[in-house]
A and B are shown apart, each in its own frame.
Chain A
Amino acid sequence: MKNTSRPSKNPPKKSLKNSTVQISCALLIAVVAVAGCAKPAAAPPVEVDAGRVSTLPAGPADAAWNAAPVYAAALLPQDMVEPRLLEPSTASVNVQALTDGISVAFRLTWADDTKDDLPGAGRFVDACAVQLPAAASANVPAPQMGEAGGTVEISYWSAAWQAIVDGRPDTLAAIEPRAAVDHYPFEAASLAEGSKEQKDMALRYAPARALSGAARPAAGKSVQDLRAEGPGTITPATETKSAGKGVRDASGWQVVIVKPLPDGLRGKTRSQVALAIWNGSHKEVGPRKMRSVWIPLALGGGA
């Protein structure tokens, strides 16, 4: 991942050899001298500026991101409703945005030392989400999941879902490699593999799948679109139209979420965006998350 602007979790190492120190000092003097002749450094962005492009990038490595300003969004623990996140974790997330007037693409970059993409008992996965008001209004919805009458649209990305999209089998063996299973009744020899009878029987032991419940994304997706009107109310959208892709290196995640602009924001030039990050190894899930406040969002001059 080049051109990343991931917030650092750890301070730089201080133990340097003498020679290195001398060279560094010389370079520092030179840099200061040059800097003294240059223009003052640009002030950091005060909003997420979604510049207008004709084609939105589909992934984090797209060159289109190189020119997009980086907004460093401070995160704070979700401490408004129980259960709260009692110990903060991810301090900030760098966010960039681009729009084609129809959709808006966000690239979120944050530090995370551990890759958590395997769900399990007492085991949680890394994730992120972007949230937009469903409509432009002088009265912006409450930043935390909206409020009654103030709907927000949320697109949620999960590292577990990304792993499946990237090719990890959606099987128990992939999650629990040491598991030994004698028999499943719906895999009896008397049932033809892949038959309707066999599939129906398997679904009877997996009611959440049979119901296409809220816990899983649409097939082939690592992102799920949701709507909410307050904490505890998120409901999957009728259809997930957003797309996403996440990649990571040793220092953390970089995730792109491409989300159709909510109907109420089409043709608008300004709105807000809020972000949330979950660190799986910190046991973060659901309301136990790091989240931002509303951040001003400039939408590339409107449609």
Chain B
Amino acid sequence: MARVRNWQIDREMSYWYPENRPRKQFSAIFDTNKCIACQTCTLACKTTWTSGKGQEYMLWNNVETKPYGFYPLGWDVKLLGKLGGQQWKGARYEGRTIFEAAEGGERVHGWRPEEIDYAYPNVGEDDCTGAKLERGDFLTLPHNRWFFYLARICNHCTYPACLASCPRGSIYKRPEDGIVLIDQSRCRGYQECVKACPYKKTFFNPMTGTSEKCIACFPKIEIGEANQCFVNCIGKIRHAGFVSKPEEAREDNPLDYLVHVRKVALPLYPQFGLEPNIYYIPPIHVPRPFLLQMFGPGVDHALETYRGAADDPELTALLSLFGSTQFIVHRWKRENDTVLGFDEKGAELVRVPLREPVHIREAWDSARSIARVNIP
């Protein structure tokens, strides 16, 4: 194994291959506070990519209700249990990553879902909980229970476990955009990637005999457009782009600004060690210990910053860009009460007001001598 730098755990770690970062890294931010689990993203992906024979059970994109929702069943809690203690010391992870915890003869510390684990894609949907996760709960008023929706795609990790696990080298990370793909002409369906990926975002296709995964809609990325699950998101919770290493972060890059500058968006289970590139703004109403385990030690700062967004013009501006264009915003800037997004060449893509304009109409329409019906 090589030694590589993983900034999300603030230390070096062991990985199967030497560090080899792409020229650009596809990345995204999901605001969990805005997701309503309508599954439009799920269907957009399903319709576009996984409507073939053998792909029926595949959900390259899914939305699950935490804490009890999983696809496949128990994908995260099974690994968390196997991995043992996961201690952080400040920003530094002191426990073992899944590469460091690999047993003799294995490349990655993983587990393999059985067919039955894919049988319950909606398990836990809208189930809430109280302080104790061991048992469920029911809503009482005032609303003092919690759950939240977690939308998931492949994280196109900097250190992909799927790539490390493939004995045939069938999985590769594109140098031009960091998207992780399975070479369908080379894969022989060993399912090592399915076992290794802690997020369980590779799937075996029994009809082709190969494993398949989210391709980040690379044909769209290549022409500067955002992925299907992004442009179809009616809650506008997602923002696609490219993220830099912390030391190369640019304030005018939307991803860099939210991830590195304001640190409001956090990786999913950074302790696994993959340096995942989908970042989440954590839900504001969930107990902190749960969020700490899921998003790492930056949770308190992220939520404090997010809660202050209303009084923070820059943050408000950038959050207003979410879902505002079908194109990928490479650069942004705020001009008074407007935020502007630009493409890679600097051309303006979109212009969004920080506050939606408000029009007040009197209840009585004197011109027509008629009362207006209030239809929001």
Interface residues of chain A, those whose CB is within 8 Å of chain B, are 79, 81-86, 118-124, 170-172, 175-176, 179, 181, 184-186, 202, 204-216, 231-232, 234, 283, 285-287
Chain B residue with the shortest CB-CB distance to A85: B105
Chain A residue with the shortest CB-CB distance to B112: A122
The 6 closest A-B pairs by CB, nearest first: A205-B52, A84-B105, A215-B209, A286-B190, A208-B208, A208-B184
In Å, the complex CA distance between A251 and B192 comes to 29
Which of A179, A204, A205: most chain B Cβ within 10 A?
Answer: A205
Closest beta carbon of chain B to A168's beta carbon, Å: 13
Task: Please tell me which one of the listed residues B53, B54, B56, B167 contacts residue A83 in the complex, with CB atoms under 8 A apart.
Answer: B167
A/B interface sample: 22 pairs, CB < 8 A: A84-B104, A86-B103, A86-B104, A120-B206, A121-B203, A122-B113, A122-B114, A122-B194, A123-B115, A124-B191, A172-B53, A175-B207, A184-B53, A186-B52, A205-B49, A205-B50, A206-B52, A211-B185, A213-B208, A215-B208, A285-B189, A286-B168
In Å, the complex CA distance between A280 and B50 comes to 27
Which of A204, A209, A210: most chain B Cβ within 10 A?
Answer: A209
The answer on a CB contact under 8 Å between B56 and A172 is: yes
The answer on a CB contact under 8 Å between A121 and B184 is: no
Task: Please tell me which one of the listed residues B118, B186, B209 contacts residue A119 in the complex, with CB atoms under 8 A apart.
Answer: B209
Contact of A287 with B208 at beta-carbon distance under 8 Å, contacts A123-B115, A205-B50, A208-B184 already known? no
The answer on a CB contact under 8 Å between B54 and A232 is: no
The answer on a CB contact under 8 Å between A206 and B190 is: no
Closest beta carbon of chain A to B180's beta carbon, Å: 16
Interface residues of chain B, those whose CB is within 8 Å of chain A, are 47, 49-57, 103-107, 112-115, 117-118, 165, 167-169, 184-192, 194, 203-210, 212
The answer on a CB contact under 8 Å between B168 and A181 is: no
User: Contacts of A176 on B, CB cut-off 8 Å?
Assistant: 206
The answer on a CB contact under 8 Å between A185 and B115 is: no
Closest beta carbon of chain A to B127's beta carbon, Å: 25
The answer on a CB contact under 8 Å between B115 and A207 is: no
User: Contacts of A79 on B, CB cut-off 8 Å?
Assistant: 105
The answer on a CB contact under 8 Å between A215 and B107 is: no
The answer on a CB contact under 8 Å between B169 and A232 is: yes
User: Contacts of B165 on A, CB cut-off 8 Å?
Assistant: 83
Task: Please tell me which one of the listed residues B105, B169, B187 contacts residue A208 in the complex, with CB atoms under 8 A apart.
Answer: B187
Task: Please tell me which one of the listed residues A175, A186, A209, A213 contacts residue B187 in the complex, with CB atoms under 8 A apart.
Answer: A213
The answer on a CB contact under 8 Å between B107 and A207 is: no
The answer on a CB contact under 8 Å between A214 and B185 is: yes
In Å, the complex CA distance between A138 and B185 comes to 35
Contact of A286 with B192 at beta-carbon distance under 8 Å, contacts A120-B206, A206-B53, A208-B185 already known? yes
User: Contacts of A175 on B, CB cut-off 8 Å?
Assistant: 206-207
In Å, the complex CA distance between A231 and B169 comes to 10
User: Contacts of A124 on B, CB cut-off 8 Å?
Assistant: 191
User: Contacts of A184 on B, CB cut-off 8 Å?
Assistant: 51-53
In Å, the complex CA distance between A121 and B73 comes to 13
In Å, the complex CA distance between A121 and B197 comes to 14
The answer on a CB contact under 8 Å between B52 and A216 is: no
The answer on a CB contact under 8 Å between A82 and B106 is: yes
The answer on a CB contact under 8 Å between B184 and A207 is: yes
User: Contacts of A214 on B, CB cut-off 8 Å?
Assistant: 185-188
Closest beta carbon of chain A to B46's beta carbon, Å: 11
The answer on a CB contact under 8 Å between A119 and B167 is: no
Contact of A232 with B168 at beta-carbon distance under 8 Å, contacts A79-B105, A205-B51 already known? yes
Which of B169, B186, B188: most chain A Cβ within 10 A?
Answer: B188
Contact of A286 with B167 at beta-carbon distance under 8 Å, contacts A175-B206, A214-B188 already known? yes
In Å, the complex CA distance between A79 and B106 comes to 10
Given contacts A184-B51, A231-B167, 17 further A-B contacts (CB under 8 A): A82-B106, A83-B105, A83-B107, A83-B167, A120-B204, A121-B204, A122-B194, A124-B191, A175-B207, A184-B52, A202-B53, A204-B52, A213-B187, A213-B208, A232-B169, A283-B112, A286-B190
In Å, the complex CA distance between A288 and B212 comes to 21
Closest beta carbon of chain A to B130's beta carbon, Å: 34
User: Contacts of A202 on B, CB cut-off 8 Å?
Assistant: 52-53
In Å, the complex CA distance between A172 and B205 comes to 10
The answer on a CB contact under 8 Å between A232 and B208 is: no
Which of B54, B167, B209: most chain A Cβ within 10 A?
Answer: B209
Contact of A232 with B188 at beta-carbon distance under 8 Å, contacts A202-B52, A206-B53, A208-B205 already known? no
In Å, the complex CA distance between A19 and B104 comes to 53
Chain B residue with the shortest CB-CB distance to A183: B51
In Å, the complex CA distance between A85 and B192 comes to 13
Contact of A121 with B207 at beta-carbon distance under 8 Å, contacts A185-B51, A213-B187, A287-B167 already known? no
The answer on a CB contact under 8 Å between A205 and B106 is: no
In Å, the complex CA distance between A54 and B327 comes to 69
Closest beta carbon of chain A to B60's beta carbon, Å: 13
Which of A82, A86, A186: most chain B Cβ within 10 A?
Answer: A82
The answer on a CB contact under 8 Å between B53 and A205 is: yes
User: Contacts of B169 on A, CB cut-off 8 Å?
Assistant: 232
Which of A171, A206, A231: most chain B Cβ within 10 A?
Answer: A206
Closest beta carbon of chain A to B191's beta carbon, Å: 7
The answer on a CB contact under 8 Å between A172 and B54 is: yes
Chain B residue with the shortest CB-CB distance to A180: B56
In Å, the complex CA distance between A290 and B115 comes to 25
In Å, the complex CA distance between A170 and B188 comes to 17
Contact of A213 with B192 at beta-carbon distance under 8 Å, contacts A79-B105, A172-B54, A206-B52 already known? no
Closest beta carbon of chain A to B106's beta carbon, Å: 6
Closest beta carbon of chain A to B332's beta carbon, Å: 35
User: Contacts of A83 on B, CB cut-off 8 Å?
Assistant: 105-107, 165, 167, 192
